Amino acid sequence: MTKTPIQKWEKSLETFKTNCKEIKSLSKSIRYVGVINEYGKTLTGTLKSGIKPLFSRNQVRDEFYAISTFMKLRNKTNHSIGSLNYIFLNHQKVSSIILQNNKIIYYITFPKNVIPTESLIKKIKKISMRE
């Protein structure tokens, strides 16, 4: 039986949700795991319980739009310098890892004093590359 586009989309969303939960379970220091599309729209996300979000709704929209735009621009240089492995952002209040799988972007945050190990990043990347 052939799946309809809606069924395929629902299956993709379920996979993203499962991936987010699995990534969050890798480390107690992970604050947030989210998936955004190429336009910066949040598809799914999970925040560690007891953690207060740092962004307002408008700030989240702006942040994810900026990240998605940056990723689209970076893709244009892939043939020259190779594909992007990940991006690490270190702010005063939080650190973030950003990975891309085709047009889907995984956005993972950590407390400011936590720098994820290469081992953890590899595990996150392995999960985020599943479809």
pLDDT, position 78: 83
Which of 3.10.290.10, 3.40.50.261, 3.40.50.2000, 3.30.450.30 is the CATH number of 5-128?
3.30.450.30
Domain ranges of the chain: 5-128
- Of 77 and 43, the structure prediction assigns the larger pLDDT to 43
Residue 95 has pLDDT above 90, yes or no: yes
Q: Is the pLDDT of residue 75 over 90?
A: no
Q: Is the pLDDT of residue 61 over 90?
A: yes
Which pTM was predicted? Answer: 0.92
- Is it the case that residue 62 has pLDDT exceeding 90? yes
- Whether 97 shows a pLDDT value over 90: the answer reads yes
CA distance 102 to 119: 22
